Structure 1
Amino acid sequence: MRYTTPAFKVLLIIGVILSSFYASLAIDKTKSSCLVRSEGIERGESKKSELNGKSVHNNPIPVFSKEEYVWRFDKLNEACPIQLDFNDIVKRYIDVYSVRHRDKTARILGLSEIYFPIFEEYLDKYGLPLELKYIAVIESALNPKAKSRSGATGLWQFMFHASRMFDLKINSYVDERMDPVKSTDAACKYLQYLYRIFGDWQLTIAAYNGGPGVVRDAIKASGGKTNFWDIAPFLPEQTQKYLPAFIAVNYVMTYNQDHNIIPEHLKFSYLKLSDVNVKEPLSLMNVSKELDISIEDLRRLNPIYKLDFIPKSELPARLTLPVDKVAAFINEESRLYAAPQKKVLYHDLEKNMSSTRGKRCIVHIVQAGEFFHKIAMKYSCTSENIKTWNNLRGDILHIGQKLKVWVPVSQSSSNTMKNLDLLDLVHVSGYNDQNSKSTNTHISMLTNSY
């Protein structure tokens, strides 16, 4: 078939228009389903991300090439005396902190504004690498009241008997393992001791978890090798995981902005806190009432005082307060000391247990062998509380039965952490020397499937 010149031109124009139209459709489709490259960062801008049951729209999770990770690790190693290796194992832990549990990392970043200045001051005092502060992130997620199932306690997770080696006082009123300053000083002494044994920071960090005896045994079993990655197969599983997790935390805490992890804004920071001297016995409840500061905040800032009371036997003592409350404490000091400690009455306790005010409802699933009293002891309530909350009359429970339980917000958060499927919250750590050998179980953010 032949076309005249004008008709051919018309067909050619129509063809160009249609080609442009379909090309634009293809580009839009590609943009909507693929990663968009922007300033060296690959981002799934239009893809709906789900993280821990939460959707992330305005804070996309970046994806980086291996070359970008290698470049960043080179920069880290230029400024760090601890060798920070990048490999597939470390990369999996980076994903734990930067992708799967980035909300917890954001909170840790917020808490770091309180505790990292303390850690850095004492690490510097002992001539230790400042990057060792990240050990506390793995040990306790920067929670000074963290306590493992075996009893390891505090930011640096010391066991009861091990704490005596570092003169950390523990009695009915105080637990210095929860004191950010004194426990950090003890951790620095222990790290210094371990480094004198091994002369290698990677082995020192592994020994902080498993104990020097465990590391020495692994060196012997490997035929005398002293590289962590060479002796790793001869270490306990949890100690194998410890160094990769430490390296990953170093990376994520340094490059959190590149991963779009925004630190959680917390009420307090290091520069907004100050200590006051306590000269006479003092009730934290009285301080809370007179200075208009919540008892929860006072406990958070002073975790060392187990019973909300500073007795005469612990004087002189210090109390940490928000800076804007220091003047009020000094002005009201004599009255605060004179105020009698309020005696806790049975009816007040009963009323607090049964009340749901200021508490959060969680669901407990009945396991084999559980009964009302056992469940009540777990959640610090009574059997009658549980029956009332669930409209139950009898004493019979069934396996798999769901019960509503009201607990303090802080306790519900702790239980949520313990029940996360993706987290192995317990890891093995201990102190070993030639004369003694013990294994401690700590709280951790290490994952089972690395």
Structure 2
Amino acid sequence: MRRTALPLLAGILLHCIALSGLSPFTAEARAGDVEMLSPMRSAAFPSLESAIRIKGPLRFCGEFVPLHLPEVRERLEKELLLMLWDRAQVILWLKRTGRYFPHIETVLRAGNMPDDLKFIAVIESALKPEAGSNRGARGVWQFIPSTAANYGLTVDRFIDERRNFYFATRAASAYLKDLHDRFGSWTLACAAYNMGEQGLERQIEKQEVDDYYHLHLPAETERYILRAIAAKLILTDPSRYGFDLYPEDYYSPGKFDRVKLRAKYPTPLTLVAKAAGTYYKLIRDLNPQFLGDVVPPGQHVLFLPEGSAGEFAERYHPLMAKYRETLKPETYVVKQGDSLTGIAQEHDMSLAQLCKLNKLGRRATIHPGQELLVR
């Protein structure tokens, strides 16, 4: 039986290949295509015990980290261990630094701010622009709506500029600088970024201590700076911790053109894509601040594929004119208690636009049942 089993199996295999429409030689050729991939290497990285043997002096944002305090050293070792245990996550961090760190570093240099602040973005969001929290924070820098509004970011039902990495980085730089001016320390500024400036001020006043490492703070904030320091240690010297990435392994920075668009009416992103000579998905990816399928009325900065800005206006205007011909006038029936200002706000128009569209003066009287054009 053993003598007949092998020929039988070989026959079955050849029969299956024949049924698939391939010859044995074609199958071999296709299997051989896999060999064109880069050869796999064996992993080699230091033990966790050796990885957490930190030698000082150590600084964060130019400020001394008191490793001589047993509690501080223990907390930092814990954060390093937790990060190094999840090696896949650290690899993604490293790869994303290629995409996001160059711009953050440029903004920090322009503001004469410490380069180490870029590691705050890592621990806030893992460098993911789509990151969100159950507290309503969004984006790479995890702004909550109120702070975002204080630093010039629009957050409404149509636009969320926290999701745009470039807008949010500018706002985060301004916020961190203000916090440093308020607390006189970059370490405390980062702690306030995490827990809020008023909460940190109350704790400083209550405990009569203005040194982050000697303050009793919420658990998340007590970990916050140590996590940033651990990220700095790993990401500035990845090979020491066994991460051996090639330059081509890192994601590349985004390349794009910027244009200003003044939209009188809601403008479909599909139309924008056509004017830019590209497709809808790329426009959405470049402009994550738009929450729907349209650019709302108003003036906006649009991000377009690199090289497409030159002919954008030339394509956009005829496309928009053709699109507007398809629109039917939209009307609103005035109700008891309505005002021109309220109707304009409800339809995302200015009072001047509403009055011009209906040939009314700003102080014109309206009455229930009256129809007004709102588009």
The offset of 1:337, in angstroms, is 4.2
The one-letter amino acid of 2:79's match is: Y
CA distance in 2, matches of 1:93, 1:293: 44
1:57-206 pair list within 5 angstroms: 58-63=42-47, 69-71=53-55, 74=57, 77=59, 80-84=61-65, 86=67, 87-97=73-83, 99-206=84-191
CA distance 1:161–1:245, shift in 2 (3 Å) = same
The offset of 1:241, in angstroms, is 1.1
The one-letter amino acid of 2:138's match is: T
CA distance in 2, matches of 1:69, 1:320: 47
CA distance in 2, matches of 1:260, 1:294: 40
CA distance 1:316–1:169, shift in 2 (3 Å) = closer
Question: 1:217: which partner in 2?
Answer: 202
1:403-414 pair list within 5 angstroms: none
The one-letter amino acid of 1:102's match is: R
Question: 1:243: which partner in 2?
Answer: 225
SS in 1 for 2:131: coil
Question: 1:3: which partner in 2?
Answer: none
CA distance 1:290–1:258, shift in 2 (3 Å) = farther
CA distance 1:105–1:340, shift in 2 (3 Å) = farther
CA distance in 1, matches of 2:158, 2:270: 15
**Is 1:318–2:302 an aligned residue pair?**
yes
CA distance 1:311–1:317, shift in 2 (3 Å) = same
Contact 1:82 1:129 (C-alpha < 8 Å) held by counterparts: no
1:3-14 pair list within 5 angstroms: none
CA distance in 2, matches of 1:266, 1:328: 34
The offset of 1:248, in angstroms, is 0.8
The one-letter amino acid of 1:82's match is: E
The offset of 1:307, in angstroms, is 1.0
CA distance 1:338–1:84, shift in 2 (3 Å) = farther
SS in 1 for 2:258: strand
* Deviations 1:252-302, CA, capped at 9 Å, x for gaps: 111123323338978963263333444556533345567675644433322
The offset of 1:135, in angstroms, is 1.0
The one-letter amino acid of 1:103's match is: A
The offset of 1:85, in angstroms, is 5.0
Question: 2:240: which partner in 1?
Answer: 258
Question: 1:29: which partner in 2?
Answer: none
The one-letter amino acid of 2:256's match is: L
CA distance 1:164–1:70, shift in 2 (3 Å) = same
Contact 1:283 1:310 (C-alpha < 8 Å) held by counterparts: yes
The offset of 1:304, in angstroms, is 0.8
Question: 2:255: which partner in 1?
Answer: 272
CA distance 1:267–1:126, shift in 2 (3 Å) = closer
Work out which structure has the larger RCO, using CA pairs closer than 8 Å and 6 or more positions apart in sequence: 1
CA distance 1:300–1:82, shift in 2 (3 Å) = farther
CA distance 1:146–1:301, shift in 2 (3 Å) = same
CA distance in 2, matches of 1:148, 1:247: 22
* Deviations 1:120-143, CA, capped at 9 Å, x for gaps: 222223322121111111111112
SS in 2 for 1:185: helix
SS in 2 for 1:318: strand
Question: 1:443: which partner in 2?
Answer: none
Contact 1:108 1:263 (C-alpha < 8 Å) held by counterparts: no
The offset of 1:336, in angstroms, is 5.3
Question: 1:391: which partner in 2?
Answer: none
The one-letter amino acid of 1:237's match is: A
The one-letter amino acid of 2:162's match is: R
SS in 1 for 2:229: helix
The offset of 1:325, in angstroms, is 5.4
CA distance 1:122–1:291, shift in 2 (3 Å) = closer
* Deviations 1:343-365, CA, capped at 9 Å, x for gaps: 9xxxxxxxxxxxxxxxxxxxxxx
> TM-score by structure 1 length?
0.53
Contact 1:152 1:158 (C-alpha < 8 Å) held by counterparts: yes
* Deviations 1:360-414, CA, capped at 9 Å, x for gaps: xxxxxxxxxxxxxxxxxxxxxxxxxxxxxxxxxxxxxxxxxxxxxxxxxxxxxxx
Contact 1:174 1:305 (C-alpha < 8 Å) held by counterparts: yes
Contact 1:106 1:263 (C-alpha < 8 Å) held by counterparts: no
Question: 2:10: which partner in 1?
Answer: none
**RMSD, aligned CA:** 3.4
Question: 1:207: which partner in 2?
Answer: 192
* Deviations 1:298-350, CA, capped at 9 Å, x for gaps: 3332211111322332x2422242x3655675774456545749x9xxxxxxx
CA distance 1:217–1:193, shift in 2 (3 Å) = same
CA distance 1:209–1:332, shift in 2 (3 Å) = same
Contact 1:120 1:130 (C-alpha < 8 Å) held by counterparts: yes
> TM-score by structure 2 length?
0.63
